[in-house]
Structure 1
């Protein structure tokens, strides 16, 4: 077993690190502490990187696992407790940390296990319009599977309420041929139909634009991909909600950083704390949101 190799790379305007072990390869950007791609050696990618991704400072890359924090989606769609935390004028979608450079604390390995740790000093009172003091860290562990953990530690003397997500883009052979298992019987918010509350019947298939918030989601969801003879396993903790998204044809054509047919080979399942699952941190409290990504043959 050889020591994993760490290489610094520049992708457009972004500083990145490529980490290669005997079994897997990982690409991580300093901006947003964002995992850009991940795959097991000799296999199709597990995380999707858009062919037309834009690597520009201040812009989240359409790839991998962007970090959405301290709110998810449009702020106005969040509970009042989350909205009240922000005192700015304009609120960007998906929070304030995706387009900022995080501080790399270290890249360490023990055998074939690699750990990458980041922190974002800006959250200690320096995020524009968000005057709170929360220590924010992201840990990435590459071993038999990829594990990502986002930890918030409230250093304020008052409670802080956040919504958040690990906005994971998964690579699939053809989204029209895959299914998501683990959602049968769950209630979900259908954002494309006036945010109606509906109930899932059976596994989730894809036949059009999809943008749903699943409530009381289980600790494990699976993406079954027969064409690649693969099941992607997502194991989450610190989360009771999941967002499942695919832009389909018309929406993808509007996105400058996605090919017109890019929707076919990606699927987002976002490990989240949203809707009735937002997190209120008492002074001195900590919360960790985690997802582990692995795969197996069908």
Structure 2
């Protein structure tokens, strides 16, 4: 097995690593343990690297795979059990607390046919802002014939902790108007753009406007079918029964300073998640792993 090629790079203010193994290349930043891109030689990217993303210390990055933890989205839209974990009266940042923190790279090593990249975020000495719970985080990335991402939360405190979370994955597509998502037929979803009503999905999901949906009781496998690129992106999740599907479309994209006006066309977010009634409750000394494996296959 060849030794992976690892290059330390600087992206404006952020430290990052470019890792090549076999026929694939991964770009990951220290801030947020944030996967920025992933591509197999000779194929279009699987993970979307937004060409208008900004790489500033302390500012979350709109690209790749942000880690949303210990709550997802707007805290006030989370179950009360998740809201109760926060003890501050200050406004809560969207998508939690760890996207803009520097994680520690524990190692990059060959394991079997793959390469294992591990980041840790130990419980800070002074705690997380407004969230005084002793939960350690590990993000493990494995590059073999697929890309595997695993986020493990370990409660080393003496109190039960409840959290929501997501691997907020931006996938690269030829044109979101031409793709569809398989595996959702018959599922209930929350339509956040229509007063958070619960709706039942009929058939595969196609895109013709802004989309922001929370799918419930999701199966382990979902697929993005992209006819123009003759590709199917298969997503296999673990430790999750919910998924968020998002695309900003035209007007919302224009309002985002860190996305091109037409950037919405080339991306689709399918976020492997623990949200709504799928939140995670960690007893003292318990752990939970949220994971997704990503593979591009020809149609």
TM-score, length basis structure 1? 0.98
> Which deviations, in whole Å up to 9, do the C-alpha atoms of 1:38-87 show, x marking residues without a partner?
01011100000111010001112111100000000000000110001011
1: CA distance between counterparts of 2:289 and 2:112?
Answer: 26
Residue 233 of structure 1 corresponds to 234
> Number of residue pairs matched?
298
4+ runs of 1 displaced by more than 6 Å?
Answer: none
Residue 23 of structure 1 corresponds to 23
1:118 corresponds to 2:119: yes
1:103 corresponds to 2:107: no
Aligned 1:114-193 pairs, distance under 5 A? 114-122=115-123, 126-193=127-194
* Matched position secondary structure for 2:205: coil
Contact preservation (8 Å) 2:123, 2:134: no
> Which deviations, in whole Å up to 9, do the C-alpha atoms of 1:113-140 show, x marking residues without a partner?
1111011124576101100101111100
1:251 corresponds to 2:248: no
1:59 corresponds to 2:63: no
> Which deviations, in whole Å up to 9, do the C-alpha atoms of 1:166-194 show, x marking residues without a partner?
00000000000000000000000000000
Aligned 1:180-219 pairs, distance under 5 A? 180-219=181-220
Contact preservation (8 Å) 2:123, 2:135: no
Q: How far is the alpha carbon of 1:22 from its aligned partner?
A: 2.6
1: CA distance between counterparts of 2:111 and 2:284?
Answer: 35
1: CA distance between counterparts of 2:281 and 2:23?
Answer: 39
Contact preservation (8 Å) 1:124, 1:135: no
Deviates more, 1:123-132 or 1:263-272: 123-132
2: CA distance between counterparts of 1:158 and 1:25?
Answer: 41
1: CA distance between counterparts of 2:39 and 2:45?
Answer: 4
Contact preservation (8 Å) 2:166, 2:273: yes
Change (3 A) 1:193 1:125: same
**Runs (5+) with no aligned partner, structure 1:** none
Deviates more, 1:13-22 or 1:199-208: 13-22
* Matched position secondary structure for 1:81: helix
Contact preservation (8 Å) 1:140, 1:146: yes
Q: How far is the alpha carbon of 1:284 from its aligned partner?
A: 1.2
Q: How far is the alpha carbon of 1:110 from its aligned partner?
A: 3.6
Contact preservation (8 Å) 1:102, 1:119: yes
* Matched position secondary structure for 1:256: coil
Contact preservation (8 Å) 1:125, 1:133: no
Residue 223 of structure 2 corresponds to 222
1: CA distance between counterparts of 2:186 and 2:207?
Answer: 17
* Matched position secondary structure for 1:108: strand
Q: How far is the alpha carbon of 1:261 from its aligned partner?
A: 0.2
* Matched position secondary structure for 2:281: strand
TM-score, length basis structure 2? 0.98
> Which deviations, in whole Å up to 9, do the C-alpha atoms of 1:125-169 show, x marking residues without a partner?
610110010111110001100000000111111100000000000
Residue 87 of structure 1 corresponds to 87
Residue 289 of structure 2 corresponds to 288
* Matched position secondary structure for 1:234: strand
* Matched position secondary structure for 1:73: coil
2: CA distance between counterparts of 1:135 and 1:243?
Answer: 24
Change (3 A) 1:111 1:219: closer
